[in-house]
């Protein structure tokens, strides 16, 4: 019996050791599975947070599914937008002297096809560089459809080669009352600024076409007379105070002279009044040389209801007294319609009555 009890004790001891070993094994397996499940949960949480932090907008463009694999799509989205360099001071696209003729019929559909980069409303900006100036070209208009066609035919290619960020605004006087050019130009200035932050304004007669694309339609440190040498005057400046046909003023220069006079009805005097305003404001007129400044004028009879203004000489003698109360700060016109056409913006205006 003593022998049997020692045997039983030995067996029991072994069983206890086995149980303890199994317990340790169970605990070890439990710990391993717990650690692995915790790591998986942590990775899942981090992945969710990472997804929530992906921006909905990148470079102001909304992120939309492209159908690409996620890695490829993310790579495309992260490509930075390349900032354009400034256009050079002198465009490399200029060709110099141009042949300007008016002995053919202009087809505006063809002009549109030949200028595919001109956007509705007559807007254009270079694609390969950032223009140095934002230029609004403003034309006072009535009864001159054929002249306008020539202007669009010649000027759009010129302005694009000059690498300008520009828009063309044709300001049409409504009705059959006496013409008032300056009210139309002032209205064009005000309306153009409602559309875009232009910093330069070119005021161009519809019948004046430059003959050299180096005569850049931009603004300078002083108000610029662009139509220096007209064929009408044998390509000579008729008098020193001449400041008509085509001129440019920066926004600051325009405001300094209070825009243009509103009280010139009919033909004549307003351009000289603007010259007086420039000089009175302490500025001077800048001009290109007589070769680059050559322009052609489309010959025509004077428009109906645009007879010479009999009051022009009296008005001119009082420019210094009237310029700060008669101008853009006193403009009263009514815009009747705005049409965004293929090659220009047409703004029809009621200028009131004399």
Of 73, 297, 307, 342, catalytic:
297
Q: Quick check: is 271 catalytic?
A: yes
**Continuous H helices in 86-220:** 108-114, 145-161, 181-195
Among the listed residues 13, 41, 236, 302, the single catalytic one is 302
**Catalytic one of 146, 267, 307, 350:** 267
Q: Is 156 a catalytic residue?
A: no
Q: Which of 191, 212, 270, 272 is labelled catalytic?
A: 270
User: Which candidate in 165, 191, 205, 212 is catalytic?
Assistant: 205
Instruction: Note if 205 is an active site residue.
Output: yes
Find the catalytic residue in 165, 207, 272, 273. Answer: 207
Active site residue 265: no
Annotation says 153 is catalytic: no
Chain centroid to Cα 71, Å, comes to 36
Query: Which residue is catalytic, options 39, 300, 303, 318?
Result: 300
Q: Is 270 a catalytic residue?
A: yes
Residue 82 CA to residue 63 CA, distance in Å, equals: 18
Give the active site residue among 165, 191, 271, 272: 271
The set of catalytic residues is 205, 207, 267, 270-271, 297, 300, 302
């Amino acid at each position: 019996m003593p022998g049997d009890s020692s045997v039983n004790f030995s067996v029991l001891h072994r069983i206890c050791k086995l149980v303890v070993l199994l317990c340790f094994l169970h605990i070890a397996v439990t710990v391993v599975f717990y650690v692995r499940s915790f790591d998986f949960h942590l990775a899942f949480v981090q992945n969710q947070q990472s997804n929530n932090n992906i921006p909905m907008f990148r470079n102001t463009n909304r992120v939309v599914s492209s159908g690409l694999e996620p890695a490829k799509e993310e790579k495309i989205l992260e490509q930075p937008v390349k900032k354009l360099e400034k256009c050079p001071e002198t465009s490399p696209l200029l060709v110099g002297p141009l042949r300007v003729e008016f002995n053919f019929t202009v087809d505006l559909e063809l002009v549109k096809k030949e200028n595919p980069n001109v956007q509705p409303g007559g807007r254009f900006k270079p694609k390969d560089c950032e223009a140095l100036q934002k230029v609004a070209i403003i034309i006072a208009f009535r009864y001159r459809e054929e002249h306008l066609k020539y202007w669009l035919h010649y000027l759009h290619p010129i302005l694009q080669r000059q690498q300008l960020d520009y828009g063309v605004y044709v300001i049409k006087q409504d009705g059959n009352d006496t013409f008032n050019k300056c009210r139309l130009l002032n209205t064009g200035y005000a309306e153009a600024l409602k559309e875009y932050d232009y910093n330069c304004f070119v005021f161009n007669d519809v019948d004046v076409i430059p003959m050299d694309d180096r005569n850049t339609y931009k603004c300078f440190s002083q108000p610029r007379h662009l139509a220096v040498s007209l064929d009408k005057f044998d390509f000579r400046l008729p008098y020193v105070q001449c400041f008509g046909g085509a001129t440019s003023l920066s926004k600051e220069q325009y405001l300094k002279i209070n825009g243009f006079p509103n009280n010139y009805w009919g033909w004549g005097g307003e351009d000289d009044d603007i010259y007086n305003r420039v000089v009175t404001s302490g500025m001077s007129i800048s001009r290109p040389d007589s070769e680059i400044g050559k322009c052609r004028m489309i010959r025509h009879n004077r428009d109906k209801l645009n007879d010479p203004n009999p009051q022009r000489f009296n008005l001119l003698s009082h420019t210094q007294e009237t310029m700060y109360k008669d101008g853009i700060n006193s403009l009263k016109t009514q815009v009747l319609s705005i049409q965004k056409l293929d090659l220009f913006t047409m703004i029809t205006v009621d200028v009131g009555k004399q």
